[in-house]
Amino acid sequence: MTVYSDRAGATWIRKPDGEVSRSGHNIADWNVGDRRLPWTEFDQLPTEPEKLKARFSKNAEARFEQAMSLLAESPASPDLRSVLFQIVAETPGVTMTPEVKDSRGRPGTEIVLRGTRRVDKPGTKPVSFQYSLRYVIDPDTSRVLEHGSAGANPLVRTTYLEVGWTNHIS
């Protein structure tokens, strides 16, 4: 499946059989802390690590996921991308492994966040479970090649073959 998005955030999906349909998903803005920030405001974000980090959630997992979402799918500038990578690298529980390959065999650096989530539902015992979020980054371009759960057989995986803006679906 191929996903296309325009600058307004509208998203379309092209299935392998060529059928195109509009998705309900909109990427016109991204989570930065408790705000939804349009890409047109990215140039207003600070590029000092501590100042930018203060804009995100204090929760390490949420901060990691928001920063990686910006790195994977937003038109963040090289300066902003650099600071986002610094924030990710300083996140407790993050490990980085160079010289790995994504599912397509492309070389990259693996970034993994491992942790424990606790789920509390009224009327039931709290349940804790381990999680791991995995990203593979192209070391030459700093682009996200792939993300999903870590392990030999990830439950969910998104592989990015090309990322950019388009004015038409090809």
Q: How confident is the model at residue 46 (pLDDT cuts 50, 70, 90)?
A: very high
The pLDDT of residue 105 is above 60: yes
Cut 0.95: pTM above it: no
pLDDT tens by residue, 53-90: 999 999 988 999 999 999 988 888 899 999 999 999 99
Q: Which long-range contacts (CB under 8 A, 24 or more apart) does 27-33 make?
A: 27/73, 27/74, 30/66, 30/69, 30/70, 30/73, 30/74, 31/66, 31/69, 32/56, 32/66, 32/70, 33/57, 33/66
